[in-house]
Structure formats: structure tokens, C-alpha cells
Amino acid sequence: AQKVTQAQTEISVVEKEDVTLDCVYETRDTTYYLFWYKQPPSGELVFLIRRNSFDEQNEISGRYSWNFQKSTSSFNFTITASQVVDSAVYFCALSEGEGAQKLVFGQGTRLTINP
């Protein structure tokens, strides 16, 4: 069965600090995809990144970076030099197989960046 666990319910840091959001997943499939979405107070889920199970290369996009480790079934997200605008709820999600499959989401981590 698919499962995504985000153990950190809430994180609060001061602006310019680095922060890492943890995500651990469970799946029996060898082909799967992992995602991170950002949900600001407006409610819309904003797509940030997708990784497939065959690509463990870490990715950096500006202040954002992602660490995918199959050995520990983890897909962690780091924000460097955090800013107030990064405050939001962040969701990690998993889909199995090819095509537009259902997304299984974690419970989310509420990140608050204080000025």
C-alpha cells in the first residue's frame, strides 16, 4: 500500500535560517513518482517538483533543494536562507505507475518563517 509520512507537523524558524522538511514514503512499486506541493493560505496547491523512482539525482532550484534517497525511502526538501514568503503548508505526495495516477499525500508540514 502507498503511504507518505511527514512527521513534522509544524516548523517555525527565523528568516534567513535554513530549514529541511522531511518526507518518508512507502510503496511496493518499482516505478513511482514523488512530488512536493506548496499550499499558501489562499488554498491552491502549487507544484514545486517531481522526481521519478529511477532518478536519485538531487536537484537544486534557487533556494530550494531536494534530496531523494531510495535506500531510506526519503524525499526531503530544504529551503536555504528562508524568507517570510516561504510560509505555507508543504505537502509531499506519491503516485505509482505510469500516467496520471492518483496522488497520495502526506499530512503536510506547516512552515512559518518569522521576520
Partner 1 sequence: ETGVTQSPTHLIKTRGQQVTLRCSSQSGHNTVSWYQQALGQGPQFIFQYYREEENGRGNFPPRFSGLQFPNYSSELNVNALELDDSALYLCASSLPGQLITQYFGPGTRLLVL
* b/e per residue 12-42 (b: at least 16 CB within 10 A): ebeeeeebebbbbbebeeeebbbbbbbeeee
DSSP 71: G
Q: Which stretch binds partner 1 (CB under 8 A): 15-23, 59-67, 72-80, 88-96?
A: 88-96
> Which of 53, 73, 78, 107 touches partner 1 (CB under 8 A)?
107
1 lies in the site for partner 1, by CB under 8 A: no
30 lies in the site for partner 1, by CB under 8 A: no
Closest CB to partner 1 among 86 and 106? Answer: 106
Residue type, 57: Q
SS3 108: coil
CB atoms within 10 A of CB 51: 18
Q: Which residues face 111 on adjacent strands?
A: 11, 88
Query: Closest separation between CB of residue 115 and partner 1, Å?
Result: 25
Letters for 39-68 (x = contact with partner 1 by CB under 8 A, - = none) are: ---xxxxxx--x------------------
> Which of 19, 106, 111, 113 touches partner 1 (CB under 8 A)?
106
- Alpha-carbon gap, residue 30 to 48, rounded angstroms: 23
Give the binding site for partner 1 (CB under 8 A): 4, 33, 35, 37, 42-47, 50, 91, 93, 95, 98-108
